[in-house]
Amino acid sequence: MRLAGNWEGAELEGLCESARLAGALDKLQQQLVAQARDAGRSWTQIGESLGVSKQSAWERFSAPNEE
pLDDT at 4 over 80: no
**Among 6, 36, 3, which residue's Cα sits nearest to residue 22?**
3
pLDDT at 3: 61
**DSSP output for the chain:** ---SS--TT-HHHHHHHHHHHHHHHHHHHHHHHHHHHHTT--HHHHHHHHTS-HHHHHHHH--TT--
Q: What is the pLDDT of residues 33-53, one digit of tens each?
A: 999 999 999 999 999 999 999
Band (2; pLDDT cuts 50, 70, 90): low
pLDDT at 64 over 70: no
